[in-house]
Amino acid sequence: MILSHQNEWEWRKVKFGMLPPYAKEVSFKYATYNARTETVDHKRSFKHAWSNDQFGLVPVEAIYEPKYINGKAHWYGIFRQDGKPFTLAAIYEETIIDEQKVRTMSLLTINADRHSFMKQFHKPDDEKRSIIVIPDHLRNDWLNCKHTDAPDFFLDMPLNEFTSLPKAEMNKS
């Protein structure tokens, strides 16, 4: 994960799935992989990181989501059409467990029920969600923004920049 420290970018190893500051052990029982932007400011697991502006970027080449075809989940890779990596908006937490600092993170998500590309993923009757892509030119702004300004970055994934393939077809030459 990329974090900002004194306006400089730093790479930090993180565990996927946020552990809130009150967690007593690494095997926390709640799934905190994604943080909904609509509730991140008041959910106990995320509130501390959010209110303390603990924003990060997760660089990826693709994300994977289930697409239901004839009632069965088929995993699809979602990636940039130009093949370049992209960065996802995240929040992170630093929790002390057994006298060790444990850094964890969750990806921020937005509703995608009306997004013509992202709404095809997940179960047919489930709410559609999407990760938030932070464009190259806004990365530093995201890392250094205040939580009151964070909603300015909650934009739909650009339709003309992304595509998908079944996971089985990914990385075939």
The reply to whether 2 falls in a domain is no
Quick one: which H or E segment has residue 55? strand 55-60
The reply to whether 47 falls in a domain is yes
What percentage of the chain reaches a pLDDT higher than 70?
Answer: 97
* Distance of alpha carbon 14 from alpha carbon 52, whole angstroms: 18
The reply to whether 6 falls in a domain is no
Domain count, the chain: 1
Strand pairing report for 100-111 and 129-131: antiparallel
Residue 98 CA, chain-centre distance (Å), reads: 27
The reply to whether 84 falls in a domain is yes
Give the three-class secondary structure for 63: strand
Q: What is the pLDDT of residue 30?
A: 65
Q: If you average pLDDT over residues 141-153, what whole number do you get? A: 97
Q: If you average pLDDT over residues 127-134, what whole number do you get? A: 97
The reply to whether 139 falls in a domain is yes
pLDDT band at 153 (very low <50, low <70, confident <90, very high): very high
pLDDT digits (tens, 9 = 90+) for 110-121: 999 999 999 999
Alpha helix (H) residue ranges in the chain: 44-51, 139-143
- Position 16, amino acid: F
What percentage of the chain reaches a pLDDT higher than 90?
Answer: 77
* Distance of alpha carbon 78 from alpha carbon 63, whole angstroms: 5
Best CA proximity match to 76, nearest among 61, 65, 60: 65
Count other Cβ atoms within 10 Å, centred on residue 52. 13
The reply to whether 19 falls in a domain is no
Q: Which domain holds residue 95?
A: 33-169
Q: If you average pLDDT over residues 40-65, what whole number do you get? A: 96
Taking the alpha carbons at both ends of the chain, their separation in whole angstroms is: 29
CATH code of residue 56: 3.90.1680.10
Q: If you average pLDDT over residues 81-102, what whole number do you get? A: 93
- pTM for this predicted structure: 0.92
9, two tokens:
């970018």
The reply to whether 3 falls in a domain is no
pLDDT digits (tens, 9 = 90+) for 5-46: 777 788 989 999 998 888 877 776 666 899 999 999 999 999
The reply to whether 106 falls in a domain is yes
* Distance of alpha carbon 151 from alpha carbon 51, whole angstroms: 13
